[in-house]
Amino acid sequence: MQNTGLSVKNLSVFYGEKEAVKSVSLEFSPRQVTALIGPSGCGKSTFLRSLNRMNDTIGGVKTTGEIWIDGHNINDSGVDVVLLRQQIGMVWQRPNPFHKSIYENIAFGPRYHGIRSKRELDGIVEDCLRRAALWEETKDRLHKSALALSGGQQQRLCIARSIAVKPKIILMDEPASALDPVSTAKIEELISELKKEYCIIIVTHNMHQAARVSDRTAFFYMGKLIETGETDQIFTNPVEKSTDDYISGRFG
C-alpha cells in the first residue's frame, strides 16, 4: 500500500520565452487515477513530464514552482533526480521496450538498484509480468527479444518494467493512443488494477477513456488549469464553459 500523493503549487514551465504551463496548482491523491485532458498543445504533457523532471533532459526548459512529494519539493536544487525518478514510474505514448529480452526489460531496473540474486530477480520478473497480465503470454519466451511482442503487449511490458523498481507514482502519457481497441481495453483494465496501490496520473486525448478509468479529472487549456474535480462531476456538470465545450466536442 502506498500513501504517497503529489502536490503541485504554482508550477510554470518555459520553453525559452514561451510559457507552456502557466502557474498550475493541483493535488494528486494516493490510490487514485487522475486524468489530465485538454486539446493538443495545452501543456498537459509538459506538465506531466515536469513531475519527474524529465524536462531536464531537453535543453532550454525552465521550471518554476513547487512539487511536493513525501514532504520534499522535487524542484529544490539539492534533490537527487536519479533517486526521485526511481519513485516515479513513467509510461510513454508509443511502447518503448529496451532492445533486450523480455526478462531483461523487467530485471534491468531492480538489478541496477542492488538486487543481484537470480532467484529474487526471477521472482520480480514473474510478479511484475503477472500484475501486467502478461505472464501467461510470455512465460515460455522470457529470453526472446521484447521487440517481437505486439504493440499492446509491449505497452504492458513497459508498465511492468516501471513497477519493477517499486515506484510510488506512475505517470502515463497517452498510454493507449497508439493501440487497437482490444489492447486499449486491456491497458485500461490494468490501470484500474494498479490504482489499488499507486497514485496514477494519466494524460489522455480520449474523453471516454478519461471517464472510464479516472477518479478525478483536470482540464487544461492554453497552458492553464481550467478546472479540476471528481470525474463524474467534470463530465456531467462542468463549472467552466470551455470545459463543457471541450467535453461535448465543440473544439479540440
3-state secondary structure of 172: strand
Q: Of 10-18, 22-30, 118-126, 188-196, which part binds another protein (CB under 8 A)?
A: 118-126
Nearer to another protein, 110 or 223 (CB): 110
Strand ranges of the sheet holding 61-69, from the earlier edge strand across to the other edge: 18-28, 6-15, 61-69, 72-73
Any contact of residue 96 with another protein (CB under 8 A)? yes
| Residue appearing with cell numbers 502557466 | 22
Task: Tell me if 200 contacts another protein by CB under 8 A.
Answer: no
Q: Name which of 120 and 232 has its Cβ closer to another protein.
A: 120
> Residue 42, exposed/middle/buried by CB under 10 A (0-12, 13-18, 19+)?
buried
Examine residue 114 and tell whether it contacts another protein (CB under 8 A): yes
Q: According to the binding rule CB under 8 A, does residue 87 interact with another protein?
A: yes
Residue 225's SS3 state is strand
Question: Does 122 interact with another protein (rule: CB under 8 A)?
Answer: no
Per-residue mark of binding to another protein, 33-62 (x: CB under 8 A): -------------------x-x--x-xx--
Sign of torsion, CA 4 106 35 13? Answer: positive
Per CB under 8 A, 112 contacts another protein? yes
* Residue 193 touches another protein, criterion: CB under 8 A: no
* 179 Cβ contact partners less than 8 Å away, ≥ 6 residues apart: 151, 152, 155, 187
SS3 97: coil
Q: How far is CA 32 from the centre of its chain?
A: 12
Binding status of residue 99 toward another protein by CB under 8 A: yes
Q: Which residues bind another protein (CB under 8 A)?
A: 52, 54, 57, 59-60, 69-70, 72, 74, 78-80, 82-90, 92, 94, 96, 98-100, 108-110, 112-115, 120, 123-124, 127, 144-145, 147-148, 158, 161-162, 164-166
